[in-house]
Amino acid sequence: MSGFGRLFCLDATTGKQIWSVDLLKEYDGRNIQWGMTENLLIGENKLFCTPGGITYNVIALDPDTGKLIWSSPGNEETSAYCSPQLIRLPAKTILVTHTASSIIGIDTKDGKLLWRHPQPNRYSVHGNTPYYQDGQVYCVSGYGQGGVLLKLSADGSVKQEVWRNTTLDCKTGGFIVLDRIIYGSGDANKGWYGVDWKTGSTVFSDKSLGKGNIIYADGMLYCYAESGEVALVRPSPSGIRKVSSFQVPYGEAQHWAHLVIRNGRLYVRHGSSLMVYELAKK
């Protein structure tokens, strides 16, 4: 899906277009300031996306044909740069995503809006995918809004707020849940934080690296700060310890692209430059 709301299905071998849909024209979509950046999601034999229209707020399409299966009015808010999450429960499967001022849960069978939870922030930017674990969903946003843990009923049709933490107000950098601790960086609250999954209390803060994005592999955290520093970090419930780091040597503008690890190599993109680093083997 392009930033202009064009949705394409292409043959993976030849690149030939199989079908396309203009979400703005065909489904009353409303684009947002930085363009649509949602990662598409396929599950339950459906392709889900968020045009952000009044009637066609969230839709499910046939991934083979692009034809509409259902549409949901959601909470009638624009999309919010969020990639949705599928939660498979014994009774039903639900789709959870952010829209401009809300977290919403939708029944994937028919598009019925099951619940809404308020999650506004100053610029309606919610770039982090919701995370599900043990009957609970964690959602976090930047600009001081912070994160909230919601407890779902057995069939996912009812939610209840368990706690809210405004210290870890991650904007787009993602977070890692590891051994009951949520690791991530703040936005308005610059620095790195650990939040207890059960209680929502902040268990540590660290200002040594500056805010950025985070991934996890082989027991270690890899943090890419907006200053251009990439750090290998050892996590623990009492804090984080920087093992080693380097400064990104090439590229331009903001250091916002997420790190990627594949086949023992670390991929770092900065503007128009892509750097690949060999990771030491154990």
The C-alpha atoms of residue 194 and residue 168 are separated, in whole angstroms, by: 8
- Residue 165 CA from chain centroid, whole number: 18
The C-alpha atoms of residue 96 and residue 274 are separated, in whole angstroms, by: 33
Answer yes or no: is pLDDT of 79 > 90: yes
Reported as a single tens digit per residue, the pLDDT across 59-78 is 999 999 999 999 999 999 99
Task: Return the CATH fold of 175-184+208-282.
Answer: Lipocalin (2.40.128)
Answer yes or no: is pLDDT of 270 > 90: yes
Q: What residue spans define the domains of the chain?
A: 175-184+208-282
Residues facing 167 on adjacent strands: none
Cβ density class 229-262: b for 16+ within 10 Å, e for less: bbbbbebeeeebeeeeeeebeebeeebeebbeee
pLDDT average, residue stretch 38-56: 97
Answer yes or no: is pLDDT of 281 > 80: no
Reported as a single tens digit per residue, the pLDDT across 127-172 is 999 999 999 999 999 999 999 999 999 999 999 999 999 999 999 9
pLDDT band for position 280 (50/70/90)?
confident
Reported as a single tens digit per residue, the pLDDT across 201-235 is 999 999 999 899 999 999 999 999 999 999 999 99
Residues in CB range of 231: below 8 A, 6 or more apart: 209, 222, 223, 224, 225, 242, 243, 244, 245
pLDDT value of residue 282: 59
pLDDT average, residue stretch 174-193: 96
Reported as a single tens digit per residue, the pLDDT across 248-267 is 999 999 999 999 999 999 99
